[in-house]
């Protein structure tokens, strides 16, 4: 979000203060090198449709549907922060062993149309909608860090307008809702920098809102994700906090590390209220993303990408790697513990979503370059895809070296009738630094290190982005 938008909350705008003047002399926090304007972080300048796509290897013919991924892509070419660009959706449609099209389309928001200056302000329609995608209740939705979802047409990725659950979504919606695979229920929340800091919500499988519940926190934290088990939801309150100082004088996002803020998980029954939340203090950390969560006896288990710290100086500091860690909250004793699951740097954890909320064996993540210690380095970082066997501790990895850089790997079930947990494929856009183009790649989830089983070369670059979803034709109807 941009600083000027948050000034709407302060009343400074109402005082007639020209925010660009206020902010003009305070740019000492701007990084000398903006990594998000280099390498494959750079935005692309065109929306394209490509239908003449060749498949190298083979796409399993039973995979019929749409893979779509969201990410930031500044339409002006410049943004104040890595997260600050307009939403752009990249999609590949698979049919009968072929890739019938690739498209990239902006999410058509008032921000993209330049009718609003950014996201995170009081109007939830004014989102960049740049973070993730959700298919639920028969609708494909683009989600942002803040604001309402935007409906996306799966046939051509055009934007159909905002969606607010018939007016029952009154504020922000997270980019990381969870669907209960048994009931189809959607569990989600929104966070805000003014109270209520968290609003918890549930919708039924058809998309009808069932519950809207304010939840207390001690202050306005950044809350990017949350966890769901069969009986509970888990909120995170972590030390990356909204900062008035950063909103007025800093650059990038108005959030930074607050050494005095708590690190804690709040566990609440899925149909409960704020009064039912049990908070568990954990060693100081920050978490963007949760891999999965489930119950085991008296314990609520949350597996997550854990940062020791983040954004200590300002929100441009991404150079501390996250490690896969398991948090255990004992509902009887009130005690929590954390243990590291794997030592190597990772992010963008994923699972077979049929195992969301349930005990599981396999997780997937991006491998993150351990040498990401500077803006210069991050733009050239090496990456890969890892598969974790959480029962045996074994790790399988696709580490293609410096020339190829995969994005988030989404699990696509190989069978709709419920095969083994890892019976399926991983879908990812892989960037080739030499050709400056990307490919849509499918991996066999049982043999990730073997590399792609299918590669669809694209004539364009798919910039580094965020989160995607697989929508099978059987769901689209
Ligand atoms: Fe995310």
CA of 466 from ligand 1 middle (Å) equals 6
Would you write out the chain's pLDDT as a tens digit for each of its 477 residues? 444 344 344 333 322 222 222 233 334 456 767 888 889 999 999 999 999 999 999 999 999 999 999 999 999 988 888 888 999 999 999 999 999 999 999 999 999 999 887 656 678 988 999 999 999 999 999 999 999 999 999 999 999 999 999 999 989 999 999 999 999 999 999 999 999 999 999 999 999 999 999 999 999 999 999 999 999 999 999 999 998 888 887 678 889 999 999 999 999 999 999 999 999 999 999 999 999 999 999 999 999 999 999 998 888 887 788 999 999 999 999 999 999 999 999 999 999 999 999 999 999 999 998 877 777 677 777 899 999 999 999 999 999 999 999 999 999 999 777 799 999 999 999 999 999 999 999 999 999 999 999 999 999 999 999 999 999 999 987
CA of 390 from ligand 1 middle (Å) equals 22
CA of 131 from ligand 1 middle (Å) equals 6
For the record, the structure tokens of 171 come out as 């504020």
CA of 287 from ligand 1 middle (Å) equals 10
CA of 58 from ligand 1 middle (Å) equals 30
Rounded distance between C-alpha atoms, residue 444 and residue 263, angstroms: 37
Beta bridge partners of 337: 328
CA of 52 from ligand 1 middle (Å) equals 32
CA of 116 from ligand 1 middle (Å) equals 23
Distances (CA, A) of 178 to 51, 71, 235, 295: 33, 19, 13, 16
CA of 132 from ligand 1 middle (Å) equals 7
CA of 11 from ligand 1 middle (Å) equals 30
Domain that includes residue 56, residue range: 3-476
Angle among Cα 173, 383, 29 to the nearest 5 degrees reads: 60
Instruction: Report the CATH number that the domain containing residue 91 is assigned in CATH.
Output: 2.130.10.10
Beta bridge partners of 67: 92, 470
For the record, the structure tokens of 94 come out as 């698979």
Q: Are 174 and 224 in contact (CB under 8 A)?
A: yes
**pTM of the predicted structure, to 2 decimals:** 0.93
Which is nearest to 29 in space by CA: 188, 201, 255?
A: 255
Rounded distance between C-alpha atoms, residue 362 and residue 352, angstroms: 8
In total, how many domains does the chain have? 1
């Amino acid at each position: 979000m941009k600083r000027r938008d948050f000034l709407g909350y302060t009343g400074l705008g109402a005082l007639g203060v020209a925010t660009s003047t206020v902010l003009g002399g305070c740019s000492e926090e701007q990084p000398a090198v903006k990594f998000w304007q280099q390498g494959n972080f750079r935005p692309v300048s065109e929306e394209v449709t490509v239908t003449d796509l060749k498949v190298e290897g083979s796409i399993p013919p039973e995979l019929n549907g749409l893979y779509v991924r969201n990410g930031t892509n500044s339409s002006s070419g410049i943004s104040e922060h890595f997260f600050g660009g307009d939403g752009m959706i990249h999609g590949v449609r698979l049919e009968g062993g072929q890739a019938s099209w690739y498209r990239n389309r902006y999410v058509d928001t008032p921000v993209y149309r330049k009718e609003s200056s950014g996201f995170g302000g009081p109007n939830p329609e004014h989102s960049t909608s740049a973070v993730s995608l959700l298919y639920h209740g028969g609708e494909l939705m683009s989600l942002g860090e803040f604001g309402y979802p935007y409906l996306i047409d799966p046939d051509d990725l055009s934007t159909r307008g905002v969606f607010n659950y018939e007016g029952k979504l009154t504020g922000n919606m997270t980019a990381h809702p969870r669907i209960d695979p048994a009931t189809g229920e959607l569990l989600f929340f929104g966070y805000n920098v003014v109270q209520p800091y968290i609003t918890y919500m549930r919708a039924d499988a058809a998309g009808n809102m069932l519950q809207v519940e304010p939840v207390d926190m001690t202050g306005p934290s950044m809350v990017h994700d949350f966890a769901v088990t069969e009986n509970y939801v888990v909120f995170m309150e972590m030390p990356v906090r909204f900062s008035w100082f950063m909103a007025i004088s800093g650059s990038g996002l108005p959030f930074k590390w607050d050494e005095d803020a708590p690190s804690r998980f709040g566990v609440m029954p899925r149909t409960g209220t704020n009064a039912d939340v049990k908070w568990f203090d954990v060693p100081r950390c920050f978490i963007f993303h949760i891999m999965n969560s489930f119950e085991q006896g008296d314990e609520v288990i949350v597996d997550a990408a854990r940062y020791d710290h983040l954004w200590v100086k300002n929100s441009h500091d991404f150079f501390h790697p996250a490690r896969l860690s398991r948090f255990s909250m004992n509902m009887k004793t009130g005690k929590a513990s954390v243990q590291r699951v794997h030592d190597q740097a990772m992010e963008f954890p994923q699972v077979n979503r049929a195992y969301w909320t349930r005990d599981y064996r396999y997780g997937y993540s991006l491998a993150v370059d351990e040498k990401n210690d500077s803006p210069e380095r991050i733009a050239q970082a090496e990456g890969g895809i890892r598969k974790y066997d959480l029962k045996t501790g074994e790790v399988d990895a696709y580490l293609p070296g410096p020339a190829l850089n995969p994005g988030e790997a989404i699990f696509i079930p190989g069978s709709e009738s419920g095969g083994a947990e890892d019976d399926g494929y991983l879908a990812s856009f892989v960037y080739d630094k030499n050709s400056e183009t990307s490919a849509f790649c499918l991996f066999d989830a049982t043999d990730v290190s073997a590399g792609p089983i299918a590669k669809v070369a694209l004539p364009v670059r798919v910039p580094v982005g965020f989160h995607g979803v697989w929508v099978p034709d059987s769901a689209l109807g």
